[in-house]
Amino acid sequence: MRLLLTLAILAVSVCEVHAQAPTSCTAPCTKSQLLNDVQTLFPDNTVGAITPSILRTFQTNLLNSSMPTAPTGTGAFACYTGTTGLLGNCTSPLGLSLGGTGAITQQGAATAVFPAPTRPGDIAYWTGTTWATVQGNNTGSQVLTESSAGVPSWTPGAFPSAVRVGDIVYWSGTGWVSLPGNNSGTQALTESPTGVPSWATYTNGTVTSIVAGTGLSGGTITTSGTVALNVQALTTSLPGDVTITNNTSYFDGPSVSQGTTGTWFASGFVTLVDSVAASNVFCKLWDGTTVIANGRGTIVSTSQPVTLTLSGIITSPAGNIKISCKDITAANGTNTVFSDTDSNTHSLTLMVSRIE
């Protein structure tokens, strides 16, 4: 019995020796070290060889190898460090290719993104492919202009210094120029044929002469005199009857010779009678070419003459203004007359007046 007990104790001692875990890597561990620990710490078909201590050690190494040990704050980035491929806290600024600026200060970030400034007042602009700068204008006498390609630049002498109240700035073709304000109150702004403005002294204008134009009489007046309205008015009446001898042509009644210039108002009337029976007549007021007005009348019987009145305006008449009529009744074409029915010689009258 004593021999068997000794052998049992020996067997237990041997098993305990075999159950001791191999030495693991020290965190942080590389990927290859962790994989090696998996093979050595967790061998296949080994009963009782995996202990809680082994699991805790491996899990601690795994966490410490895959995550930074002490986050620096909310939003901090983890970076692969060295040549081992291990994660750790970022100690260098993220570059432009990773979405960073490659800098840890505001000025450094601006320098990385924008061109380096050269003097105070530099202005950054986009060229279409990159950022560029226009050097700041430190003279105080330039303005920023832009080319048709969108490239800004400073234009020297863009706004001249003020001289006095009311100064006017104008473009000379090459730059802005100042015209001192007019503080006298007796000058007017004028401009030369080349577009250069200037102040010119003016005086109240006076009339030295008046010339009588169309439709006026009198003058020319230089000191005193009279200009009168000169309205030309012409009136004519037929002294007796005019017979219409066919029913196809117009026959002239009263007519005036007014000339071919100016604008004229014409008004007249004619009385017509048929010696046989009722008839119809057409009449027109015209200058031989252009009809000013026209009308139609009916002679209801031999004892009932008809009077037609026509009026209108014409400019630059081609010939004498007149009233012409024709009988359109076939059977009576030789019996109608322009008639002075009451023998007062005013039943066939035309009046014209020049109005312009």
- Work out the mean pLDDT of the chain and round it to a whole number: 78
Taking CA atoms, 188 is separated from 131, 141, 203, in Å, by 50, 29, 10
The average pLDDT across 103-121 equals 78
Q: Is the pTM of this model over 0.75?
A: no
Task: Kindly report the number of other CB atoms within 10 A of residue 156's CB atom.
Answer: 10
Rounded CA separation 298/304 (Å):
9
CATH homologous superfamily of 233-354: icosahedral virus (2.60.120.660)
Q: What is the CA radius of gyration of the chain?
A: 60
Rounded CA separation 324/61 (Å):
130
Stretch among 7-16, 20-29, 46-55 having the lowest mean pLDDT = 7-16
Residue ranges, comma separated, of all CATH 2.60.120.660 domains in the chain are: 233-354
Q: What is the structure's pLDDT at 314?
A: 96
Looking up tokens 């081992």 gives 84
Roughly how many angstroms between the first and final C-alpha of the chain, as a whole number? Answer: 161
User: What are 137-169's pLDDT values in tens digits?
Assistant: 777 667 778 888 888 887 765 566 777 788 888
* Helix residue spans in the chain (DSSP H): 2-19, 31-41, 52-66, 106-113
Q: In 3D, which of 258, 268, 280 has the Cα closest to residue 348?
A: 268
